[in-house]
Amino acid sequence: MMESIDQLLEHPVGVLVGYFSVAILALIVYLACFEVVTKYNCWDEIRKGNVAAAMATGGKIFGICNVMRYSIESNTSVYDMIKWSFLGFILLLAAYLLLEFLTPVFSVDEEIGKDNRAVGLIVLIITVSLSYVIGASIM
């Protein structure tokens, strides 16, 4: 099975399809993991018009995809990309949880659930910024 996949990945279109399909699948899985750790339901809040939730979720999507971009750019195979993007995601998730811990004055998740756009913007900026740091560290 792996030999046939490796054969497909030798062609430029196969590489494109391989990276793209793995990235989409990883994005869905990683967003689902973020959904588990947040106290609000991202997509329900966005459906209700919660701009703070949309900003925070958009930052997560951008951050995850940015880490994957660096993983693709830095590595020679889809398998390496999967490993490095997973590690990058774990770091983004840890940073998100750390942010909640480092703001004892208020709960980041509760404020986003209340559509506090200032908190949503900060979460977006922190997530995107850290994705660049994590991405630059990927070998």
Cβ 138 vs Cβ 67: under 8 Å: yes
Q: What share of residues in the chain are helix, strand, coil (percent, to 5)?
A: 85, 0, 15
The model scores a pTM over 0.75: yes
Interhelix angle 51-74/78-102, nearest 10 degrees: 140
Domain boundaries, the chain: 2-137
In this predicted structure, the answer to whether residue 124 has a pLDDT above a threshold of 90 is yes
The pLDDT tens digits for 64-122 are 999 999 999 987 788 888 999 999 999 999 999 999 888 888 899 999 999 999 999 99
The pLDDT tens digits for 1-11 are 567 766 776 77
CA 95/CA 87 separation, integer angstroms: 12
**Burial of residue 39, with CB atoms counted within 10 A of its CB: 0-12 exposed, 13-18 middle, 19 or more buried:** exposed
* Cα four-point dihedral sign 106, 128, 132, 87: positive
- Structure confidence at residue 10 (pLDDT): 74
- Structure confidence at residue 7 (pLDDT): 72
pLDDT average, residue stretch 16-31: 92
CA 25/CA 52 separation, integer angstroms: 25
In this predicted structure, the answer to whether residue 23 has a pLDDT above a threshold of 90 is yes
